[in-house]
Amino acid sequence: MANTIEVKVPDIGGYDDVPVIELLVAVGDTVAKDQGLVTLESDKATMEVPSPSAGVVRELKVKVGDAVSEGSVIAVLEAEGAAEATAASGKPATPAAAAVPSASAVPSAPATSAPTTSAPAPQAAAGTGRKADIECAMVVIGAGPGGYSAAFRAADLGLDTVLVERYATLGGVCLNVGCIPSKALLHAADVIEQAAHAGEYGVEFGAPKIALDKLRAYKDKVVGQLTKGLAGMAKQRKVRVVQGTAKFVSANELEIHPHDGEGDGRPQLLRFAQCIIAAGSQAVRLPIFPWDDERVIDSTGALELGDVPKSLLVVGGGIIGLEMATVYRALGSRVTVVEFMDQLMPGADADLVKPLADRLKKQGVAVHLKTKVVAAKAAKAGIECTFEGASVPDATTYDRVLVAVGRAPNGGKLDAQKAGVAVGERGFIAVDAQMRTNVPHIFAIGDLVGQPMLAHKATHEAHLAAEVAAGLKREWTARVIPSVAYTDPEIAWVGVTEAEARAKGLEVEVGRFPWAASGRAIGLGRTEGFTKLLFDARTHRIVGGGIVGVHAGELIAEIALAIEMGAEGADIAHTIHPHPTLSESVGMAAEAFEGTITDLYIPKKKA
């Protein structure tokens, strides 16, 4: 017999007629014990009404805007069998929203956006019964930003921790062949670009001479400094680092396979009490390209900086593709970008992308939207490509082709089914608000639990998983996750975008400040940028924001913090920003929204 429970509003400090500002679940959702069901807002704070039990939501008794008091029924929950159903399906509970001030228009950032599966979870293999070469309380698979952060935090909390990494150095894709080396090269590109335009204000430089070996050595030095630091911190924390490729053989055992030619070739057996999977992702390789030809590269190949090709085709106009286009154009390549969608960087608002698109055009970068490569073959003169779409490039042969069309999770490469862990068809691993997989003692974080595939997201998930594994009561509470493209100009955004607001029917208002009115931007000679803030039309609380311009990535954190803290437009406008700075643009965008700005003339709206 199903156990039906009426979920009622608990003691909320004596308040009556408190409005419901957000529904955190829908009818049919499977929820965990203590997961938030609705968010209430008094005049002092917001609060969530938690589920008293794991179960399935059968009925919601309230809607956004309703007023409730202690004892009001908000939902009907079917409690019997909920936990078993969750484990069987591999579908985790929907992550609870953060119990911080928030507007109804602000979506909570999910602990995962990985696809879930309705297929039964796999049956774990039996233990090997063999004597283990290594035993530990915690093993972390993968030493990227998520993995090493998880291992270090677990060790700090007293867990005997082993960190398994297939490469010779710690840091994963981000540090070794991703975020860090790309920023080192982008810095060089920025210096070249600044020198080229310094004559506009009376400072003359000669044409740059690119010493490719020195530039590559500089990039490697930056990476080496950080990887050496990680190795040192692992020793200080007594985290045992094991090099090799990990594969599950049972729910509590891994085999760690050495690289060819290393050791005696025999895999080591590692037995663990708990595990955090942080195996990351890899670049998608479209099969139409001849990958056996060294002239076809992914982002890793682009960062190796083997040469500066005369012509470079970038397939994919997302963040990675455009960052590499920025580097190679500055170094002297003739760059062509093809993007299947109707705008560059499809995840960002079109108005944020426009200044970048305009600048790329002025720099001679050919951009072709709504276009794709349908065939490619290796020829003596280069890689010959065939295009289809609305804007086909004139050139068909390129010295190098960079394929930057996204990344695929590595969840399917670990034999996780032998541990009973459910892995989706695309390689994603579903997790709950505590980063647990469907197997309670095995956690997963980072790229392989879903979008966005960002290092700073993985790091926060890492701390959470390690703390839960150590017995602390934690769950995912981040409301927003910022994104940054380190192009020229940079583009950064966080929270709700204008496009998302329109698609979801959210009532938002925008405050915008053009950098053409910024003294700092004028002094830098970079006035193409702007800052915009999105506010809930009813509460005036900030729900999103975007910045395009130099150093946008350094500025976006203020907007993220404002959203997390539930700031209203007046809070931001009344925060004194230093003058003259680019950060002023955030405060002035809020003033523009509030109608108090004096640095712009904005005619008052007619009533």
Mean pLDDT, rounded, for 536-558: 97
Q: Is the pLDDT at 328 greater than 80, yes or no?
A: yes
Q: Is the pLDDT at 86 greater than 80, yes or no?
A: no
pLDDT at 113: 47
Which of 74-88, 429-443, 450-464, 467-481 bottoms out in mean pLDDT, i.e. has the lowest?
74-88
Given pLDDT bands bounded at 50, 70 and 90, which one contains residue 456?
very high
Q: Is the pLDDT at 165 greater than 70, yes or no?
A: yes
Nearest to 270 by CA among 257, 287, 284, 260: 257
Q: Is the pLDDT at 503 greater than 60, yes or no?
A: yes
Q: Is the pLDDT at 594 greater than 80, yes or no?
A: yes
**Quick one: DSSP state of residue 348?**
S
Percent above pLDDT 90 for the chain: 76
Given pLDDT bands bounded at 50, 70 and 90, which one contains residue 512?
very high
Angle between helices 145-156 and 455-469 (to 10 degrees): 30
Look at 78 and 233; give whichever has higher pLDDT.
233
pLDDT at 15: 65
Which of 53-57, 190-194, 238-242, 397-401 bottoms out in mean pLDDT, i.e. has the lowest?
53-57
How far apart, in whole angstroms, are the C-alpha atoms of residue 133 and residue 550? 52
3-state secondary structure of 564: helix
Q: Is the pLDDT at 371 greater than 80, yes or no?
A: yes
How far apart, in whole angstroms, are the C-alpha atoms of residue 387 and residue 397? 11
Q: Is the pLDDT at 184 greater than 90, yes or no?
A: yes
With DSSP H G I counted as helix, E B as strand and the rest as coil, what are the percentages for the chain, rounded to 5?
Answer: 30, 25, 45
Given pLDDT bands bounded at 50, 70 and 90, which one contains residue 43?
low
Which tens digit of pLDDT belongs to each residue from 304-315?
999 999 999 999
Q: Is the pLDDT at 477 greater than 50, yes or no?
A: yes
Given pLDDT bands bounded at 50, 70 and 90, which one contains residue 67?
confident
Percent above pLDDT 70 for the chain: 90
Strands 161-165 and 67-68: unpaired
Which of 91-95, 469-473, 569-573 bottoms out in mean pLDDT, i.e. has the lowest?
91-95
DSSP string, 151-205: HHHHHHTT--EEEEESSSSSSHHHHHHSHHHHHHHHHHHHHHHHHHHGGGGT---
Instruction: For the sheet with 397-398, list strands across it.
Output: 371-379, 382-389, 397-398
CB atoms within 10 A of CB 557: 13
Q: Is the pLDDT at 105 greater than 90, yes or no?
A: no
pLDDT at 605: 66
579 given a catalytic annotation: yes
pLDDT at 428: 95
Q: Is the pLDDT at 529 greater than 80, yes or no?
A: yes
How far apart, in whole angstroms, are the C-alpha atoms of residue 401 and residue 414? 30
Given pLDDT bands bounded at 50, 70 and 90, which one contains residue 14?
low
Mean pLDDT, rounded, for 469-495: 95
Given pLDDT bands bounded at 50, 70 and 90, which one contains residue 33?
confident
pLDDT at 36: 82
Which tens digit of pLDDT belongs to each residue from 216-275?
999 999 999 999 999 999 999 999 999 999 999 999 999 999 976 566 678 999 999 999
Q: Is the pLDDT at 46 greater than 70, yes or no?
A: no
Look at 508 and 101; give whichever has higher pLDDT.
508
Nearest to 387 by CA among 362, 361, 366: 366
Mean pLDDT, the chain, whole residue set: 89
Look at 231 and 90; give whichever has higher pLDDT.
231
Mean pLDDT, rounded, for 201-218: 95
CA 328 to the chain's CA centroid:
25
CB atoms within 10 A of CB 400: 24
Which tens digit of pLDDT belongs to each residue from 285-325?
999 999 999 999 999 999 999 999 999 999 999 999 999 99
Q: Is the pLDDT at 102 greater than 50, yes or no?
A: no
pLDDT at 604: 74
Q: For residue 133, is it left (φ>0), alpha (ψ between -120 and 50) or beta?
A: alpha
Residue type, 35: Q
Q: Is there a contact between 433 and 461 (Cβ–Cβ < 8 Å)?
A: no
What does each C-alpha distance from 328 to 315, 322, 399, 400, 548 come to in angstroms? 14, 10, 13, 11, 21
Angle between helices 350-362 and 319-331 (to 10 degrees): 20
Given pLDDT bands bounded at 50, 70 and 90, which one contains residue 97?
very low
Given pLDDT bands bounded at 50, 70 and 90, which one contains residue 462?
very high
pLDDT at 601: 87
Check 197, 259, 574, 579 and give the catalytic one: 579
How far apart, in whole angstroms, are the C-alpha atoms of residue 18 and residue 69? 6
Q: Is the pLDDT at 121 greater than 80, yes or no?
A: yes
Q: Is the pLDDT at 373 greater than 70, yes or no?
A: yes
How far apart, in whole angstroms, are the C-alpha atoms of residue 14 and residue 586? 38
Q: Phi and psi for 112 in degrees, rounded to 5?
A: -155, 145
Helical H runs in 440-594? 455-469, 498-504, 519-524, 552-564, 569-573, 584-594
Look at 273 and 57; give whichever has higher pLDDT.
273
